[in-house]
Structure formats: structure tokens, C-alpha cells
């Protein structure tokens, strides 16, 4: 069991953050926990929070590095079973809609709003005002988060064109399919994005 787990951990590469749930296909929870304890004691992995571990990245001068916030959030999502993606403010920055870089790592979740301190980082999870789609790319989900972040009155034709230019046909189709799950104005905005992407 220990060998199987460390093989998977190494396969994911340094910086990967994980939970016992990531290995339940290999055996019972008790045997997974025992193997993780062995790896922890040998220094192969590090515990960074309750039920959260990482395969730490090493730096020549700085030693062990703090894991990436996105990696932590993905593990938190596995742990809780909630969907978690980049928040509207971060998505707007990543998509080039806004030049403002959010000071704190904030994410949208399908679960309850909460803050979590992991490995010296504070991760803020806010309940999403837009649906988080299972069968859509991170890019398509980011567009919905940007719409929710900007709000109805700030979504003009320039924003629509800008968002449309960042989506491929598959993304547009996924958003179109999810329109019934959205607030009326957001559903209308998605329709405009679809028209702009076909234009």
C-alpha cells in the first residue's frame, strides 16, 4: 500500500496536495491512513492541514516551499465533495478583463462560504452566485464567475465581446446548455456571448 501511494504521489510531481480520499481506490481508509502515517514519518510527504498532505517542492536556498493556493483548493474540494473554482475577481484578472490582481486567494464554491488556514495560507471560499458546471472547461466556468462578479449593470457589449473571444465552440455549447440554471440576466448575457462568438 505504501509503495502504491508513493508511486502515485511521485507521478503527480512535487507540489501536489492530496487527501486520503485520493487513494481509496487502492484499499480501505484504515490502510490508506496507516500508509500515509508511514510516509509522513519517513519525511516523504508533509501534513499541511487536517486530512491534507503535500509532496513538498524543494528550493536550494529556501528549503521546503509552501504549496500553491490552487493546489490546496483542489484538495479541499476533494475533501469536502464541493465544487471549487477560481473566484470572479481572479477569473477577471486571468481572462484579461481586469488588470487588478486580488490580494487574497479567493475561490467560488458550490458549498458553504468559509475560510480555511492551510500551510500558512488563508484560503477564502465564497458560495458561488453562478452555477459551477461539471461538464464545462475551467475557461467556461471562469466566464460565469466573471459575469457574477461584475453584475448585471456592468456587463456591456465590450465585456460580452471580450468574453466571447476567450471561448471555443465547446465552451459556448456548455454555457448554452446550462442557461436554465442561471439567473435571467446571466442567461441573457450567455445568449449574447453565443451570438458574439458566432459573429
For residue 135, is pLDDT > 90? no
Task: Return the half-sphere exposure (C-beta side, CA atoms, 13 A cut-off) of residue 58.
Answer: 5
Residue pLDDT, tens place only, 77-130 = 999 999 999 898 888 888 888 877 776 778 999 999 999 888 888 889 999 999
Q: Are strands 114-118 and 121-127 parallel, antiparallel or unpaired?
A: antiparallel
Q: How far apart are CA 137 and CA 114, in angstroms?
A: 25
Residue pLDDT, tens place only, 30-57 = 999 999 999 999 999 999 999 999 999 9
Amino acid at each position: 500500500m505504501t509503495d502504491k501511494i508513493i508511486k502515485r504521489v511521485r507521478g503527480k510531481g512535487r507540489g501536489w496536495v492530496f487527501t486520503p480520499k485520493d487513494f481509496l481506490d487502492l484499499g480501505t481508509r484504515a490502510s490508506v491512513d496507516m500508509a500515509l502515517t508511514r510516509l509522513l514519518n519517513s519525511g516523504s510527504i508533509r501534513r499541511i492541514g487536517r486530512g491534507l498532505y503535500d509532496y513538498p517542492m524543494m528550493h536550494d536556498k529556501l528549503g521546503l516551499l509552501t504549496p500553491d493556493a490552487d493546489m490546496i483548493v483542489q484538495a479541499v474540494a476533494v475533501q469536502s465533495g464541493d465544487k471549487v473554482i477560481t473566484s470572479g475577481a481572479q477569473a477577471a484578472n486571468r481572462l484579461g478583463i481586469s488588470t487588478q490582481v486580488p490580494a487574497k486567494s479567493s475561490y467560488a464554491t458550490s458549498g458553504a462560504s468559509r475560510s480555511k488556514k492551510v500551510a500558512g495560507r488563508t484560503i477564502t471560499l465564497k458560495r458561488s452566485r453562478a452555477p459551477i458546471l461539471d461538464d464545462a472547461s475551467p475557461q467556461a466556468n471562469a466566464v460565469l464567475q466573471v459575469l457574477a462578479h461584475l453584475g448585471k449593470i456592468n456587463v456591456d457589449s465590450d465585456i460580452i465581446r471580450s468574453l466571447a473571444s476567450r471561448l471555443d465552440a465547446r465552451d459556448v455549447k456548455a454555457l448554452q446548455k446550462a442557461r436554465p440554471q442561471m439567473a435571467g440576466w446571466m442567461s441573457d448575457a450567455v445568449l449574447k456571448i453565443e451570438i458574439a462568438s458566432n459573429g
